[in-house]
Structure 1
Amino acid sequence: MRKDPHGSAPGKAARQRARGTASPFLRLYNDLALAVDRKVGWQNLPTPLGLATLMGVRGNLRRKNLFDTGTYPTQGAPDIEPPATRHLTERTADGSYNDLDQPRMGMARSRFGRNVPAEQTYPEPLPQLLSPSPREVSRALLTRHEFVPAGSVNALVASWLQFMIRDWVSHGQGAIDNPWRIELTPDDPWPDRPMVVPRTLPDTTRPAGGDGLPPTYINEHSHWWDASQLYGSDLATQRQLRSGENGKLKVPRNGGSLFPDDPQQDPANVPGFWVGLLMMHHLFVLEHNAICDRLSQEFPTWSDEQLFQRARLINAALIAKIHTVEWTPAVISHPTTVTAMHANWYGLLGRRVHRFLGRISRNEVLSGIVGGRPDHFGVPYALTEEFVAVYRMHPLVPDQWSFRSAVDDSLLQEATFAELTGPHAYEIHGKHGLTDLFYSFGTSHPGLVTLHNYPKFLQEFERPDGKLMDLAAVDVLRIRELGVPRYNEFRRQLHLKPAEDFETLTDNPVWAEELRRTYGGDIERVDLMVGLYAEPRPEGFAFSDTAFRIFVLMASRRLNSDRFLTTDYTPQVYTQTGLDWIENTTMTTVLLRHFPELRGAVRSVDNAFAPWARATTGR
């Protein structure tokens, strides 16, 4: 365990708050569920018992794994506008005033929280922080030798995830003035020595000086599920994105940048931009504008501002719903987790009861979280560094892509991932159009989130500023730098058994030996991301059960804490037209509303993130 070097006990008060006020019965139930999970595993139980176990696991996590970094010393917190009546019914650009009693909670440029106690979040000192070398971890354990597909889902899974990440989290571009320096072995072909990696930007709201507490970091985006990737995280950006007419957003011309005359604003100049992200962004700009058209029919006297604000609420909630009841069940398609994710939105009574009777209980288990009461579980809401760490899923991205016609499945182009990134994304869009692009993604597979499946292109990634980076090595280093525990300690903190040795960590004997060599035989040194990629996955899972524990906690927390998805998920705030739009819309509905030519491909699937039928066989 990593201890506070100053001998203090930071986090004790936060732990006490996180434990909340659960009744003795609930604590007993949660502890019993934890024991069953450790002994048998939720995934090995019949669905009803598996659900009951996961409910208890989540209760334990809510009580023991939410920690507030906002109690650390603070100065120079971002300004917020004065309270106004419109805050009752509108999301602000920066995420402030979601909680009216704590208006700064979850706003842009506020701190990431934690899912492990403060004493576990001190980064290791040098040289331990760089041991083993992140570059050697990348080369020995992450390099893709042969693409391993995730056959149960389609490649829209990968583009959707990055679309979500752009809403949720950003640590900024990093500071190069005092970078990390990774020494390289003589046989390493990397062109520059040593490998230089920018440090994560420091928390500017922490006073200078030694307060003895672990470092904290700022989320550049709003922590709320508010579609800030479409609407911006500040008012100036939001105004630039709006058309100023009928509540609508600007639609990129010919799939190009919204800011052709301002390269500083062009998203293609930000690392991580590619055609998959462009597709999702364009799709939900169109969806926002379609919502505006519907609202203007219903409310012809509404102003541009009224139409925009309601459409934003509706679009953001729709995106949250698609992620909850479609994307997540597709990537963790075990029968128990599929039921659990639908229950987060509709409750165990199900969609039909919800649709015809609405909420019939205040209990979130029966009637779902959405439309219920907000609950922060004793800790102000924030996304966490551990949440960021487990969402590092670059293996989802293939290196080779085929683009095909939605009309007859004929091959249009073979391309490498490099040809889909940065400004090339606009070229691919202009060449093929969104109908064929969505068809091509829907009929292709992403990669499995596992060892030896990291995209080669991202191991030799040239940033828009010309700097060359191995993103696999950067992923490993970032998790260490941000004080997220290594794999075994992470499992302990989430109330799971640690791996006793390399053979119990993975069921692949070749991987076990590679892990032993890379980590010098010390199982406690295995990096979190490596362990997540190496461990056996439950049935239907595209990623690990350990990562799933953070999702169990945080996926519901993003709904529980958000006023606009709980008490204010009402006709008075959304309009009944808006609630009906959300209720009656799926990812398939969105796709067909804007690209009806896809009907033949998607009619074969119940979930738009499952593999589509080829045009030649889907008629």
Structure 2
Amino acid sequence: MNNSEPADRSYRRALPWRLFTAVTGLVDQVVGWDRLPVPLGLLELIGLRTKLRQDNLYDTGHLPAVDPPEAPAFSRDYLTGRTADGSHNDLDRPATGMAGTRFGRNIPLDRIAAATETSVLSPNPREISRALLTRTTFVPASSVNSLVAAWLQFMIRDWFSHGKSPKDNPWEVPLAADDPWPERPMRIMRTPDDPTRPAGADQPQTRVNVLTHWWDGSQIYGVDRRQQQWLRSGEGGKLRVLDSGLLPLPDDPADNPALVPGFWLGPELLRTLFTLEHNAICDRLHADYPSWPDEELFQRARLVNSALLAKIHTVEWTPAVISHPTTKAALRANWFGLAGERVQRLFGRISDSEVVSGIPGGSTDDYGVPFSLTEEFVAVYRMHPLLRDHWDFRSVADDQTVLECDFPDLAGENALKVLNSVSLTDLLYSFGTLPPGLVTLHNFPRHLQEFHRPDGHLQDLAATDVLRSRELGVPRYNEFRRLLHLRPARDFDELTGNRQWAEEISRCYGGRIEDVDLTVGMFAERKPAGFAFSDTAFRVFILMASRRLNSDRFFTEYYTPAVYSQTGLDWIRDNSMLSVLLRHYPGLRPAVAEVDNAFAAWPVRS
């Protein structure tokens, strides 16, 4: 396989599939999937996903490498439990998806732009930040709540990280004379190099993921044995929890998550919640299987908890933030199949087809390309506008304010002060009743445009988001759309439909539509009904949301009672985000009595 061709699949050559994807692609271009009745819209999304599977999965692991990470020697325990480092999920290629392996791509490898001073710094990312992204008035996403923002960053801490940036040789961004930035020039640290890339190699740029690529709850369980052992209590399979109900933090600053840039209250609330959930699963497993030792209980509970996280993200979080009727049905079908949840509960899987019976319990399939998350997946998950600047924490008992603060008061070690001063029930109630921001232009959190990191570095995250996609070779907006089989915008008016925005974007990019960054284009474009983010981003979701399940044997052929236990599978089947919240914080019950989806806006108690 050469650098610009995805792996071949037999079905790619089958005439019916080629006709199906050709027709659905044409309908998408002319009509749009979101304008069709739900049954036709579902067929359209199946066709689009098939086309993306055929043409938009590219492996970087086959490129020459020096000292790539090696999986530990095989143990039979790996057949029925997730490893700490993500190795041995793919039994034929045990290093696939493990921590320290490369990000893949959703674009041909020969279309990855090199990171030069010109390509990365032009147009000026700081000027893009100031002119197009700055939040002037908070624009809420009123149909959902701020658990959406917390959940997204909680998931990201499981999925991907490029690691700690080196302090030497930063990108230097020139500043306008009227720019109030306190340092000149602005310095943005570079993404760490790929340590496995041969020196002087003439090959596309690559980076590694310091986390595991799998959907395995690594933000709860750690990414190596040392971290995992510290987190475990050593009794009953459980994780360590303080008497206060909060989580212990390591004494070593190098291991303390509160000292890592990006740590804030929302993800830590959810890490606490699902640590408690792990321990509840252990209690249930111990009651049903009293002879199981600590290690057995831990491994089975991890499987169950990780699958529950994946289920919640698939059938609750994502349908809440892209709540078009077609996408809601499609996402539930990813888990339950078009036959639906009721049929699955009554009869189990009725077909080998993922379309009919869903992905869990089906066949493992990586579509000819070893599994990894991709740089394009990382790029479309840059959704900082979801975060509020101002937070009003209130009591669930009477809706009275207990704490008002701004985002910096919730970040880094300040988050620990809030956790120790406000009850977790009240914090969760407040998240549930406060809307997040809409992912759109002019709605980037002001406090993140002048973000004081725990390491003392001052950062404009809006400028950084723009720069990062350029640095990592993610195409600009129009080229990104072409490569994902979408029609590019012919001009600025077609891009956004908002005349004022069109003029602002044109001015920032000197009238060059092809120069518009992916982030700006996605934030500016028209959104399908019910969407909190763009249809362009959704194309990567169509592909990668199912791929993360399809490629993982613990969600497919090993999703069985023999591996999970019947008690474990029943736990996944019978629980939701709401049931998890209420199990551990029953004081929330009156607040969510009329709520069907925990990520939808909760009514404010009077």
State the TM bucket, normalised to the shorter chain: over 0.9
Match of 1:488 among 461, 478, 492: 478
Question: Which residue of structure 2 aligns with residue 47 of structure 1?
Answer: 38
Which whole-Å CA distance do the structure 2 matches of 1:127 and 1:19 have between them? 42
Which whole-Å CA distance do the structure 1 matches of 2:10 and 2:376 have between them? 18
Q: Secondary structure at the match of 2:167?
A: strand
Which whole-Å CA distance do the structure 2 matches of 1:516 and 1:605 have between them? 43
Question: Which residue of structure 2 aligns with residue 438 of structure 1?
Answer: 428
Which whole-Å CA distance do the structure 1 matches of 2:10 and 2:197 have between them? 26
**Aligned pairs (5 A) from 1:31-430:** 31-210=22-201, 212-252=202-242, 254=244, 258-259=248-249, 261-430=251-420
What letter matches 2:424 in structure 1? Answer: L
What letter matches 1:274 in structure 2? Answer: W
User: Deviation string for 1:146-186 (max 9, x for gaps)?
Assistant: 00000110000000000000000000121221111111111
Which whole-Å CA distance do the structure 2 matches of 1:269 and 1:415 have between them? 20
Question: Which residue of structure 2 aligns with residue 11 of structure 1?
Answer: 3
Which whole-Å CA distance do the structure 2 matches of 1:423 and 1:68 have between them? 39
Match of 2:583 among 582, 593, 602: 593
Whether contact under 8 Å (1:492, 1:498) holds in the other structure is: yes
Whether contact under 8 Å (2:8, 2:368) holds in the other structure is: yes
Q: Secondary structure at the match of 2:6?
A: helix
Aligned-residue identity in percent? 60
Question: Which residue of structure 2 aligns with residue 4 of structure 1?
Answer: none
Which whole-Å CA distance do the structure 2 matches of 1:252 and 1:549 have between them? 42
TM score, norm. by length of structure 1 = 0.96
Question: Which residue of structure 2 aligns with residue 6 of structure 1?
Answer: none
Q: 1:278 to 1:124 in 2, by over 3 A?
A: closer
User: Deviation string for 1:41-79 (max 9, x for gaps)?
Assistant: 000000001110010000000000000001110120113
Which whole-Å CA distance do the structure 1 matches of 2:327 and 2:513 have between them? 30
Whether contact under 8 Å (1:257, 1:266) holds in the other structure is: no
Further displaced range: 347-356 or 421-430: 421-430
Question: Which residue of structure 2 aligns with residue 513 of structure 1?
Answer: 503
Structure 1 runs not aligned, ≥5 long: 1-8
Further displaced range: 319-328 or 127-136: 127-136
Whether contact under 8 Å (1:70, 1:111) holds in the other structure is: yes
Q: 1:252 to 1:35 in 2, by over 3 A?
A: farther
Whether contact under 8 Å (1:314, 1:574) holds in the other structure is: yes
Which whole-Å CA distance do the structure 1 matches of 2:116 and 2:168 have between them? 19
Shift of residue 253 of structure 1?
5.3
Which whole-Å CA distance do the structure 2 matches of 1:115 and 1:18 have between them? 16
Shift of residue 19 of structure 1?
8.1
Shift of residue 566 of structure 1?
0.2
Q: 1:517 to 1:255 in 2, by over 3 A?
A: farther
Question: Which residue of structure 1 aligns with residue 464 of structure 2?
Answer: 474
Q: Secondary structure at the match of 2:189?
A: strand
Which whole-Å CA distance do the structure 2 matches of 1:433 and 1:282 have between them? 13
Shift of residue 122 of structure 1?
2.2
Which whole-Å CA distance do the structure 1 matches of 2:242 and 2:123 have between them? 45
User: Deviation string for 1:255-305 (max 9, x for gaps)?
Assistant: 666235322221110011111011000000000000000011011111110
User: Deviation string for 1:542-598 (max 9, x for gaps)?
Assistant: 000000000000000000000000000000000000000000000000000000110
Question: Which residue of structure 1 aligns with residue 540 of structure 2?
Answer: 550
Which whole-Å CA distance do the structure 2 matches of 1:134 and 1:258 have between them? 39
Q: Secondary structure at the match of 1:276?
A: helix
Further displaced range: 581-590 or 174-183: 174-183
Q: Secondary structure at the match of 2:392?
A: strand
Shift of residue 135 of structure 1?
0.4
What letter matches 1:395 in structure 2? Answer: P
What letter matches 1:100 in structure 2? Answer: L
Q: 1:481 to 1:225 in 2, by over 3 A?
A: same
Q: Secondary structure at the match of 2:168?
A: strand
Q: Secondary structure at the match of 1:181?
A: strand
